Structure 1
Amino acid sequence: MDILAILVIILLGTSGFLFKRRVIINGTEVIIKNNPFGIETILIDGTEEVSKFSVTGGVYNFTIGESKVEVDYFYRLGGLAIGVTIRKDGEVYYSDK
């Protein structure tokens, strides 16, 4: 087995585990993740709120209780670094920047 095949197996086996953030907003668990295939997913208390393919990052808006929440995915270094900024009611709540 050559090195490329091994890398492909590792990549497929870690899908969804390379980027993941977990935050609690108003007592609600929010999981934000991205897999190597560019699928951005947001789970709210275990229920999928958003699942979308993106190569440039996306901005997603939803409400949790009375709070307006915005999740902004961003990419750096040609897509090798992924991060998010989370805003709650317009204020930065969490950021990887």
Structure 2
Amino acid sequence: MYPQGRHPVPLQPGQSFKFTVLETLDRIKEEFQFLQAQYHSLKLECEKLASEKTEMQRHYIMYYEMSYGLNIEMHKQVRSNTFGFLGVVGLSLV
């Protein structure tokens, strides 16, 4: 409930629990400012993470496209080598 580093002050002997309206408003204002600062910090962190996520997705797509292209090229090479081998074997059988 209390902001970090801010704890309720223990009551001195003879001190009552009564707070004035101004003291209460000051506490509410301090806590509101603390919550605003936390919100701002978390919002910046969230925006940073969203940016990193977008960058990671972009890299994933790039690597996926590269691996897909390499896979196609590999299959073309295998097919070409297979047909070349079959052609040589076929000529030697004739």
Q: TM-score range by the shorter chain?
A: under 0.3
TM-score (norm 1): 0.22
Which protein is richer in strand relative to its size? 1
